[in-house]
Amino acid sequence: MPALKDFFNRFDSSKKYTMLLFLAGKGLQSAELNEIQECARQALKDIGNAIFKDGDVIRGCTCVVDNQTGAVTVEAGQVYLNGSIRDVNEGNFTIPIDVSVKIGVYFKEKIVTELEDPELRDPAVGTRNYQETGAARLKYNLVWGFQSEGVTPQVSDFGEFFAIYNVEHGVLVQKALAPQMDSVSTALARYDSESHGSFLVRGMGVTCLGASGADQVFTINEGKAHVDGYEIELAHSLRVRFDNEIDTETIESDPYVFEPNAQGVMTVQLNHFPLASVTSVDVTAQKTVNLTHGSYSGALDPIPSTSVLEIILIKQGGTVYTKSTDYKLTSGQVDWSPSGAEPAPGSTYEITYRHRARVEPTNVTDTGFDISGAVDGTMVLVTYSWKKPRYDLITIDSEGIVRRIKGLAHAWTQSIPKAPNGQLVLASVFQKWTTNQKPKVTNSAVKAAHMVDIEALKDMVLNLYYLMSQERLKNDANASDPSTKKGIFVDPFFDDDMRDQGIEQTGAIVDKCLTLPLRSEVQDLAKDQAVYMLPYVLEPIISQELQTGSMKINPYCAFDPIPADLHVTLNIDHWTEVETQWLSPITERFTRVVSWIAPTTTETSAKTLVSSTSKNAEFMRRITQKIRVEGLKPGEQITTIEFDGIPVNVEAV
């Protein structure tokens, strides 16, 4: 509070005075009156601070921001400040749209006396104190303004600033609507955060617009989210910029073999890309120059290149000098000290040599560049820096501030960073740093599940249970341990393997259906003399009414007699051995035979029980066969009949 002469206020909250007790006969002090006001004011402030916080909107104060020009209009309303609900007039101003801005009110108090306001003099006409000075007044002033880094707000009356709205790059970030009750909002936020965490209600999809200089530009669509329990709403899309902050790694002397094309140019495909910068490209070059021999025999002639590797050829006219015999390479010079041939002092000769040289790359791209001027098949050493990939996160906090969480760059195993507490992850960004290619943005925010979605999920779960039940009916594995399937017994009716073998069964399982059984007895028709046939009437189909003549083919019988004809009427044996009381195989056999009308039905063998065994019969039952012999002459006797080489007993009939 501003200083004022003859003003006394002894209120001290630490003394815990709650009431002034006035005594009869004691004079009233002005300090006591001030103390009464301050005591009541402090009590009201404590209650207000328990419900609201400074800057909470009580009524009105709707803010509209033009994201193109930065023009701001805030309507009149009421704001809770410094223990009281205070009125604030309409405000109009312009804010920058390329930074984060906080819009709020500037609060300032001043003392007003009768000098500034003559109406404060005593208006009681006819009294001794008429038009005399009295108590001064404490007046507050609120004006809309803003604060941002590096920008001075254009307001006429400064004071203590209380932020109310956040503006991110020209986009207003809405919070809870008025009236705002801090204690209630805090309790709801705590409940919401502990129960559900941070989640996305709708919208807020992240899209990368591309690069802008050394920055990356992203847009966040309009939407709503709950972050750490507080509601955040974007009325329209938000555009944010982040510095690339590219992580690079330097590769020293990366080796390549020079393999040029027909034009002598090689495209170097780097092992690590995208390329950030090329420091040096060292190649083995070959050069032919003319040197002048020194002024005396055995002199050393300097070669006009550094890092000489070897001398390929030295000749003068038609004379070709031999390495090691006539010369040698010493410290980058031609050493003529050997005792062999040597050019005349002061004469010129031609030398071809190889040396290490640095070349400038051309047609530089993200993956490599072109070089030329090197010797075929020689080593090329490249020193360069490349951009390591990484994952970043785009997050938003409870104040509506959008941040980028930078991940750890790595050549092969990039990991997605973890968002700090109090921030909602909107999307992950995979940074490959390829030119003319936007990073891959994956919107990964946790979305709120509405009741319609929950109901649909419940239906899907029920359908899944239904499908699983059908699958269990088709799965024969349930038979192995049906009692352990959560108390549910399921028989798919594949066969009799799940039926109680200790109880007589009166049903049969055929084609996965439980049906009444069929009992049968096999009759061997071949054992009797009678022929069993259906009623019939003979009808002529083909007739021959003409008669032909005959003649003897061999009237002299000049050949061996024709042997007798032997006819065997096989007596087929039918029998069924049933080791269990199941009638399912017999019923199935009869069921399939009866359904011969269906063109796709064929007779099949009975199924084998899980608990039964089968084996081939080792012996067949003894059975009588009928043999008819024709063509025997009178007096011929049958002495022996063999069947499959084994003599058999014959009884004439």
Interval 394-408: pLDDT, tens: 999 888 888 899 999
For residues 343 and 379, the answer to whether their CB atoms sit within 8 Å is no
Q: Between 51 and 275, whose confidence is greater? A: 275
What's the mean pLDDT in 215-223? 90
Q: Please give the Cα distance from 501 to 498 (Å, whole number).
A: 9
- At 519, list the tokens: 């009992």
- At 63, list the tokens: 């803010």
- Checking if the pLDDT of 309 tops 70, the result is yes
- Number of neighbours of residue 583 by Cβ within 10 angstroms: 22
What's the mean pLDDT in 408-430? 91
Q: Please give the Cα distance from 433 to 390 (Å, whole number).
A: 9
Residue 157: per-residue pLDDT: 56
Partnered with residue 139 across adjacent β-strands are 110
Residue 595: per-residue pLDDT: 45
Question: In terms of C-beta distances under 8 Å and separation of at least 24 residues, what long-range contacts does 123-127 make, across chains too?
Answer: none
- Checking if the pLDDT of 620 tops 60, the result is yes
For residues 134 and 200, the answer to whether their CB atoms sit within 8 Å is no
Residue 605: per-residue pLDDT: 41
Q: Please give the Cα distance from 168 to 236 (Å, whole number).
A: 11
Percent of the chain scoring above 70 in pLDDT = 85
User: Could you read off the pLDDT of 329-345 as tens digits, one per residue?
Assistant: 999 999 999 989 999 99
What's the mean pLDDT in 313-337? 92
- Which of the given ranges, 57-71, 104-118, 253-267, 554-568, has the highest pLDDT on average? 253-267
Residues with Cβ within 8 Å of residue 11, at least 6 apart in sequence: 17, 34, 35, 38, 39, 42
For residues 9 and 35, the answer to whether their CB atoms sit within 8 Å is yes
181-185, 539-543, 636-640, 644-648 — which is least confidently predicted? 181-185
- Report the relative pairing of strands 646-647 and 248-257 from DSSP bridges: unpaired
Residues with Cβ within 8 Å of residue 359, at least 6 apart in sequence: 281, 283, 285, 371, 372, 373, 374
Residue 197: per-residue pLDDT: 84
Residue 558: per-residue pLDDT: 65
* Residue in the structure block whose two tokens are 């207003």: 172
Q: Please give the Cα distance from 410 to 420 (Å, whole number).
A: 21
User: Could you read off the pLDDT of 249-268 as tens digits, one per residue?
Assistant: 999 999 999 999 999 999 99
Which of 180, 163, 188, 195 has its CA nearest to residue 401? 163
Find the helix or strand (DSSP H, E) in which 428 lies.
strand 423-431
What's the mean pLDDT in 587-594? 68
Residue 347: per-residue pLDDT: 92
Tell me whether the omega of the peptide bond preceding residue 179 falls within 30 degrees of 0, making it cis: yes
What's the mean pLDDT in 314-323? 92
310-324, 389-403, 448-462, 601-615 — which is least confidently predicted? 601-615
Which of 198, 194, 188 has its CA nearest to residue 447? 198
What's the mean pLDDT in 637-646? 78
Specify burial of residue 454 (Cβ count, 10 A radius: 0-12, 13-18, 19+): exposed
pLDDT band at 600 (very low <50, low <70, confident <90, very high): very low
Compute the Cα dihedral for 253, 255, 256, 257 and give only its sign. Answer: positive
C-alpha to C-alpha distances, 356 to 305, 459, 491, nearest whole angstrom: 9, 74, 84
Euclidean distance between the first and the last CA atom of the chain, given in angstroms as a whole number: 146
- Checking if the pLDDT of 526 tops 80, the result is no
- Checking if the pLDDT of 548 tops 60, the result is yes
- Checking if the pLDDT of 199 tops 80, the result is yes
Residue 651: per-residue pLDDT: 77
Residue 601: per-residue pLDDT: 41
Find the helix or strand (DSSP H, E) in which 586 lies.
helix 584-594
Amino acid at 243: D
pLDDT band at 543 (very low <50, low <70, confident <90, very high): confident
Would you mind telling me the total number of residues written for the chain in this entry?
Answer: 653
What's the mean pLDDT in 405-429? 91
Question: Does residue 278 sit in helix, strand or coil?
Answer: strand
Residue 282: per-residue pLDDT: 95
What's the mean pLDDT in 576-605? 58
- In eight-state DSSP terms, residue 471 is H
Residue 177: per-residue pLDDT: 54
245-259, 352-366, 454-468, 620-634 — which is least confidently predicted? 620-634
User: Could you read off the pLDDT of 581-590 as tens digits, one per residue?
Assistant: 677 877 777 7
User: Could you read off the pLDDT of 137-189 as tens digits, one per residue?
Assistant: 888 888 998 988 766 555 545 788 888 888 887 778 766 555 666 666 777 77
* Residue in the structure block whose two tokens are 């800057």: 55
Percent of the chain scoring above 90 in pLDDT = 30
Task: Pick left, alpha or beta for residue 646 (phi over 0 → left; psi -120 to 50 → alpha; otherwise beta).
Answer: beta
504-518, 613-627, 632-646 — which is least confidently predicted? 613-627
- At 23, list the tokens: 């005594």
- At 646, list the tokens: 């084994």
- Checking if the pLDDT of 425 tops 90, the result is yes
Domain boundaries of the chain, sorted by first residue: 13-51, 57-180, 210-246+388-443, 249-386, 493-528+554-653
Specify burial of residue 238 (Cβ count, 10 A radius: 0-12, 13-18, 19+): buried
Residue 573: per-residue pLDDT: 67
Whole-structure pTM value:
0.54
What's the mean pLDDT in 64-91? 89
- Mean per-residue pLDDT over the chain, rounded: 83
User: Could you read off the pLDDT of 477-517 as tens digits, one per residue?
Assistant: 555 555 445 556 677 788 887 788 788 888 898 888 888 88
Residue 388 CA, chain-centre distance (Å), reads: 21
- In eight-state DSSP terms, residue 362 is B
User: Could you read off the pLDDT of 120-137 as tens digits, one per residue?
Assistant: 888 888 888 888 888 888
Q: Please give the Cα distance from 146 to 352 (Å, whole number).
A: 76
Residue 16: per-residue pLDDT: 84
Q: Please give the Cα distance from 203 to 316 (Å, whole number).
A: 83
| E strand spans, 119-243 | 137-147, 160-168, 171-174, 199-203, 206-212, 215-220, 223-227, 230-234, 238-243
pLDDT band at 27 (very low <50, low <70, confident <90, very high): confident
Q: Between 634 and 446, whose confidence is greater? A: 446
Q: Between 582 and 437, whose confidence is greater? A: 437
